[in-house]
Structure 1
Amino acid sequence: MRYQAATERYGSMKYNRCGRSGLKLPAISLGLWHNFGGTDTFENGRAMIRRAFDLGITHFDLANNYGPPPGSAELMFGQLLKTDLAPYRDELIISTKAGYHMWEGPYGDWGSRKYLLSSLDQSLKRMGLDYVDIFYSHRPDPETPIEETMMALDHAVRSGKALYVGISNYTAEQTAVAAKVLKELGTPLLIHQPKYSMLNRWIENGLQDVLEENGVGSIAFCPLAQGLLTNKYVAGIPTDSRAARNGFLKERDITEETITKVNKLIQVAAARGQSLAQMALVWALRGGRLTSALIGASRVSQIEENVAALANSDFTQEELDLIEEILK
């Protein structure tokens, strides 16, 4: 049966303006970094994306190397666009990135104009799109001038292959330079995608100030610290977890000190009537300095739980003080 989006999909989602742009993003966005590649079950990914959109998640975040194997997440999403989401294209924000290793040779990595624009063409082909809504430089290149990388992003917009541009993993100082160059080129920097969570707060030491000064939005990846800010690891390392598979989350990251903090945070969340994952998401969004929190998921129920967090997004000062005391 042909997919029809839920008629009430915009009823409960919150949408935040991205910096000083005219674009709004859902408070919760869905990332396709894991669980949507060629080694994963298509129907499970399809069910998650459908349910996400039915819940008001309009922003789907990809990158050229997402999978595994690299490129397969874009292929999967492109197939779903064709079969399910094509009628809703103008309701979607689709982003992709280039900056990590994608193909062999000197032109398949980092931040050169050659690599970024070639990669964007490949991403569009995989997804069957004429344009993406946001195209990112996935990481700064220590050997390519920021000016060259930003000129490539500017060209992506002027050629009609992207509506907006963003950067990811740039320091505060690099972000200030990137924003200045893009402003001079006439293509404002829309958004920065940094890693941010209760357990990784580096953006509070300058980056958020730079973003506000330049009218740039932000979307945090790993707001649940790859599962640490859930109850998944409080009783050990499950055999099917990322840490057990020695992925980006390592066993060495799951220390006794961290688990002690997590257990205390679980108690604070329970007093709020939330899971720790729900509290961690709305904590990241507190104060309005973050435009959107980018979640990953392996099943539909996780998406439903995360979106439900927005129903209780306010904190008392006592709660915030207690969380700070636990995290310090």
Structure 2
Amino acid sequence: MQSRLLGATGLRVSSLALGTMTWGSVTDEHEAREQLAGFTEAGGTLVDTAAGYGDGASEKLVGSLLAENVVAREDIVLATKAGITWRGGNRGVDTSRGGLLTGLDGSLKRLGVDHVDLWQVHVWSPEVPLEETLTALDMALSSGRAAYVGVSNYTGWQTAQAATWQRSVPGRATLASTQVEYSLLARDVEYEVLPAAGAMGMGVLAWSPLAGGVLTGKYRTGIPSNSRGADPTFSSRVDVYDDERSRGIVTAVAKAAEGLEWTPLQVSLAWVRDRPGVTAPIMGARTAAQLKEALQVADLTLPPEIALALDDVSAV
């Protein structure tokens, strides 16, 4: 699998990332173990989790697999996020310096490591001064608890403001990356977020590159009982694409896949991976079999004429 530098840093990561949002909930320990082993065997290195995934369940499962030495700690680039919590079914946001650093310490304990390779603020909060939030990143870096830092789900102006603030004074932690939703069905980040990230030397990690599985075509004739669309926790991510434009894009992806003798999943994932500015799409497979199909993209490149046709049909 190809490796890429994360933005203007020296951190090298795989061109496909392994997402673990469902680990510890929908994805059990057996499936997670197979996914992690298969991902690294295919040359993957970047593993992304968050304190808010299952209220720490994802991090605990990642940590237990590292403790079992399913993969060696030094063989992966371990990324996590702080700022969002789920307790009793209620979503909370805390991007204060104290909240973020406490969250980081909790993440390190659950993961069973003394530092993470990439630590990201999970979401913007208007309730906390940006400079306070960013001070937490400075402290994480200076204390050795994180090697690199970034942000997630920031708009274009928020991305530019945060990155500029960090670059304005020597010694502050430079933002290495931003993590945003990006797929053939969700291209709004191309207007401001991607240009801002490019101007500030930040890598882009694309979450939900398959639009919650919609781009695989699995929902063209209904909602499978074992899919995310049938899960109340994730169904809203599928329902949002129940419109004529989205159906047209899904059909175009299916036709491209048929002509290439690929799967719609592979077409959609390859398109995101090779978009300008993208370092890696984050694959959130529910099963090891799904991940195996996705990993085959490592050896595939969309023909330019197919990529251009998908650009046109999905243009906002």
**Which residue in the other structure is 2:210 paired with?**
224
**Which residue in the other structure is 1:82 paired with?**
67
- CA distance in 1 between counterparts of 2:58 and 2:231 reads 20
- CA distance in 2 between counterparts of 1:125 and 1:158 reads 19
1:242 maps onto 2:228 in alignment: yes
1:60 maps onto 2:44 in alignment: no
Q: Aligned runs of 1:124-163 on 2, under 5 Å?
A: 124-163=108-147
Is contact 2:27-2:287 (8 Å) kept? Answer: no
- CA distance in 2 between counterparts of 1:256 and 1:151 reads 42
**Which residue in the other structure is 1:192 paired with?**
178
- CA distance in 1 between counterparts of 2:224 and 2:314 reads 24
Is contact 2:267-2:302 (8 Å) kept? Answer: no
Decide which of 54, 57, 72 is 2:57's aligned counterpart. Answer: 72
- CA distance in 1 between counterparts of 2:267 and 2:196 reads 26
Decide which of 79, 97, 122 is 1:113's aligned counterpart. Answer: 97
Superposed CA RMSD in Å reads 1.8
Q: Aligned runs of 1:315-326 on 2, under 5 Å?
A: 315-316=303-304, 318-326=305-313
Q: Percent identity?
A: 33
Question: Given residue 109 of structure 1, which amino acid in structure 2 is its aligned partner?
Answer: V
Question: Structure 2: where are the runs of 5+ without partners?
Answer: none
SS at match of 2:74: helix
Question: Structure 1: where are the runs of 5+ without partners?
Answer: 1-12
- Cα distance per residue 1:28-76 (max 9 Å; x no partner): 1101101x11564211211111111111111110100112xx1111111
1:267 maps onto 2:267 in alignment: no
Q: How many residues align?
A: 308
**Which residue in the other structure is 1:24 paired with?**
12
Shift of 1:168: 0.3
Shift of 1:261: 2.7
- Cα distance per residue 1:278-319 (max 9 Å; x no partner): 111111122442000100112222222112113221432x32
**Which residue in the other structure is 1:211 paired with?**
197
Change (3 A) 1:41 1:102: closer
Once the two structures are overlaid, the 10-residue window that deviates more, 297-306 or 192-201, is: 297-306
* Structure 1 outlier segments of 4+, above 6 Å: none
TM-score (norm 1): 0.89
- CA distance in 2 between counterparts of 1:310 and 1:268 reads 18
Is contact 1:265-1:326 (8 Å) kept? Answer: no
- CA distance in 1 between counterparts of 2:281 and 2:252 reads 23
SS at match of 1:155: helix
Shift of 1:20: 1.1
TM-score (norm 2): 0.92
Decide which of 11, 29, 40 is 1:42's aligned counterpart. Answer: 29
Change (3 A) 1:252 1:44: closer
Change (3 A) 1:248 1:193: same
- CA distance in 2 between counterparts of 1:124 and 1:116 reads 12
SS at match of 1:101: strand
Shift of 1:103: 5.6
Change (3 A) 1:248 1:29: same
